[in-house]
A and B are shown apart, each in its own frame.
Chain A
Amino acid sequence: MTSAISVSKLVKTFGATRALDGLDLEVATGEVHGFLGPNGSGKSTTIRVLLGLLRADSGVVRLLDGDPWRDAVALHRRLAYVPGDVTLWPQITGGEAIDLFGRLQGGLDPRRRAGLLERFDLDPRKKARTYSKGNRQKVALVAALASDAELLMLDEPTSGLDPLMEAVFQECIREVRAEGRTVLLSSHILAEAEALCDRVSIIRHGRTVQSGSLTELRHLQRTSVVARTERPVSGLESLPGVDDLRHDDGQVYFDVDADGLDLVLRHLTSFGVRNLTSAPPTLEALFLRHYGNEEVDNGVSSRGKPVRS
């Protein structure tokens, strides 16, 4: 297995801010790799170093067997990039911008371009100043997906897309993967990575804290549940994987590990479930649970409620 991206002990500082603090990242050729971390954890900075837009302070960075700073132009012919916050030139239309990015990164397939415009429901005749954030993001996505780049670097590409478009995006990424291309997909939403990624790396404060396949990270997959039942629920606390249990006003609140979910649901139905909502926890909440103590040790302030009541 060859590496498309290989980063070790990467450090990047901005004045007093240590944005990357010894980050490691391995992305194998042909995989969709989730690059997860809360806001401000250093995802965009890492990607900018990989693009040769920022110069690393120290560490080893290899991209497609090249040095991203020295060989920037040659490497850029083989990759496509979608920035986190796409800004375009107000007087240039979406179609023009797509063609421009396409040509500058080494050409794009006109048939694929037309198909993507249709699937993303994007009007290429509009000037960029009239586009919403989501539409600007679609412009960059169409340009990247219509290219034949062997590596796609996508920085939170769905942050402005509505759920329908997010589904289209996921479909496109699966096609890209089927073609054997490599994708680095940054996100601060675990569920998005679950839907698409072969492997993920989770970073925090500029350092890699977890890396592996989704099954290896299964302990991170938890569900927050709120249920209203006919009769008061009892006995949940003794079930495996249940945490943060709380009863309030006829409702029960708790978090449960993926492995414990099935048992918990069977248990709940015996009390007559009237209403049930479940949601994946945010990365921030997960971090608070798994690394809460370390955070206190490091003297880093944490926001939010105490982990356990």
Chain B
Amino acid sequence: MSTRLVSAGSTTVGGTAALLRFALRRDRIRLPVWIAAGTFMVVTQSVGSQALYDSADDLAAYQASVGSNAATIALGGPPVGLDTVAGAVAFDISATVMLIAALMAMFTVARHTRADEEAGRTELIRSARVGRHAPLLAAVLLSSAACVAIALTIGAATTASGLPALGSFVLGASVGACGLVFTGVAAVAVQATGHTRSVYGLVGGLFAVAFVLRAVGDIQRSWVVWTSPIGWAQATHPFTDDSMLPLVLCVFVAATLVAAGFLLLDRRDLGSGLLQPRPGRPAAPRTLLSPLGLAVRLHRGALLAWTVGLGLLGLVYGALAESVETLIGENDQALMIFGNPDVDQLVDAYLATTFAVTALLASAYAVSAVLRVRAEESGSRAEPVLATATSRAAWLGSHVAVALLGSALAMAASGITTGLVRAAQTGEASAFGRMLAAATAYVPAIWVVAGVAVVLVGLVPRQAQALAWTAVGVLLLITMFAESFDWPQWVGDLSPIAWTPTRPLEEWTAGPLVGLLAAAAGLTALGFAGFRRRDLITG
């Protein structure tokens, strides 16, 4: 620590204030968005739950179903205080918002340390009058400030939404404390590996481990929950115990991790990590040696993540179906509104709508996979491949094939998990097939959305990304709001998802599905024709 930098009076943390100001400027949009997103989720949950559970009976039903359901406990937290609306809100939303806070912390720390270093910016900055420890200190301070900010806004906004003030701020503080711990985790991770992507993998993996540990602990009601920082943060039991003591542990661990980060920083060279990357294969496996093999290799990480993600979502929807069943079964009013005394059918209706949302997510995946074509093209990675004996159709086709089959796979994964859960719940094996069919019925609609992306890539490559995501955004609005807000029929009809017969509610008819498939084929063919006729656009 004896290194003194050029100018007299500067220390290893010299220049931190200037870096912090600069970082704040760079993140002036990003951080408020993270904070607003987290706060918005809590407030939405609060408002929604207060409307839903407006009687003691409703709450009792909720507690009976959710409080003993291993799946909801695994995803939520300790089943504490479920006899109050506020307690239910904390149970339902705290884990998700803690994930938001952890991601915010991870991205903030990594962006201002490892990412800058990887891009060579740190070298430039450090050659000016900036101390060795200044970039990490500035990043940690910025991330900590963001954690405090999200704690306070959640506290204030949740109070304003009508929940008790003390509990609201305890909930906010728990979220912020979780963010602080992951600020520390990120401060260590950015020293460990030389690449920003590996940092994200490492921190994300540690969050997953922490999440599983707390899930196991909460389900078993055992000490295991205390091995997880998420467990500590949730041990405040907002609105029930309002105990701030566990947060002391969070802050202590966060500070220790940050200190460890500074120690490790002194033990490595600028631009490198402590861990050396593992060597890879010296020669390619046969499976890589074709355009399709390459596409599969490039897409497989994202495809696996989406498939697992939608599969888990299907699991959650399936698990919640039982709660819905209990809730509706005991709620005469709901039965009257739906005008249908058959509880099973109502559950089916609920699942059918949830599959529409899953289809929306699968469409987003399909679009992102098709847009990979543009990323390859503008990143100059398409050029050397197309300069080989690989035709444009084969190259584009391999990416589009992954997008189409991958989105179908992810959708099927969702149907399979929901089907398995439903079959277990009802004891009818046929429920599995029904759910799988209901989910995969959306595949032609998803392919139409993918086809739109292919057309854009083929015909208007420079605008393709912006336009394709705009289309997904419009689709999102229509799927979420068209029916609830009574928008005109033709608006709803813009969505291919809406053309899909919502099994098992509606009768199965081949007409719309054949129409959708034809549209998808036509759009894709048009996109291919455009791509084969145009210049390759690099840069």
Contacts and interface: CB of A to CB of B under 8 A. Distances in A.
Interface of A: 48, 51, 53-55, 72-74, 76-77, 79, 81, 83, 85-93, 95-101, 103-106, 123-127, 129-130, 140
A126 B388 contact: no
B282 interface: yes
B248 interface: no
B280 A73 contact: no
A85 B294 contact: no
B283 interface: yes
A53 B387 contact: yes
Nearest to B293: A100
Contact of B282 (A90, A95, A101): A95
Interface stretch (B71-79, B284-292, B353-361): B284-292
Given A73-B391, A100-B288, A103-B289, A53 B383 contact: yes
10 contacts: A51-B387, A53-B387, A76-B388, A81-B387, A87-B381, A90-B197, A93-B280, A95-B284, A99-B283, A104-B290
Contact of B280 (A54, A74, A127): A127
B288 to A, nearest CB: 6
B353 to A, nearest CB: 38
A85 B381 CA distance: 10
Contact of B297 (A77, A92, A103, A129): A92
Contacts of A129: 195, 197
A48 B390 contact: no
Interface centre among A48, A51, A104, A106 (most CB of B within 10 A): A104
A133 to B, nearest CB: 12
B73 to A, nearest CB: 37
Given A55-B535, A87-B380, A125 B282 contact: yes
Contact of B277 (A53, A72, A130): A130
B535 A100 contact: no
Contacts of B281: 93, 95-96, 125
Interface residues of B, number: 35
Contacts, number: 108
A53 B197 CA distance: 31
B488 interface: no
A291 B55 CA distance: 90
A48 B383 CA distance: 9
B472 interface: no
Contacts of B9: none
- Ordered nearest first, which 5 A-B pairs have the shortest CB separation? A99-B284, A104-B388, A125-B279, A93-B280, A105-B388
Given A87-B381, A104-B385, A124 B282 contact: yes
Contacts of B290: 103-104
A83 B388 contact: no
Interface in B385-405: 385-392
B41 interface: no
B389 A96 contact: no
Contact of A101 (B195, B384, B392, B536): B384
Given A96-B284, A99-B289, A140-B384, 14 more contacts: A48-B383, A81-B387, A87-B381, A89-B297, A91-B297, A92-B288, A93-B279, A93-B280, A95-B281, A100-B288, A104-B291, A127-B277, A127-B280, A130-B277
A118 to B, nearest CB: 13
Interface string B209-244: 000000000000000000000000000000000000
A83 B280 contact: no
A88 B388 CA distance: 15
B298 interface: yes
B164 interface: no
Given A89-B298, A127-B277, A104 B381 contact: no
Contacts of B277: 126-127, 130
Contacts of B379: 87
Contacts of B381: 87-89
Given A88-B381, A92-B297, A101-B384, A77 B280 contact: no
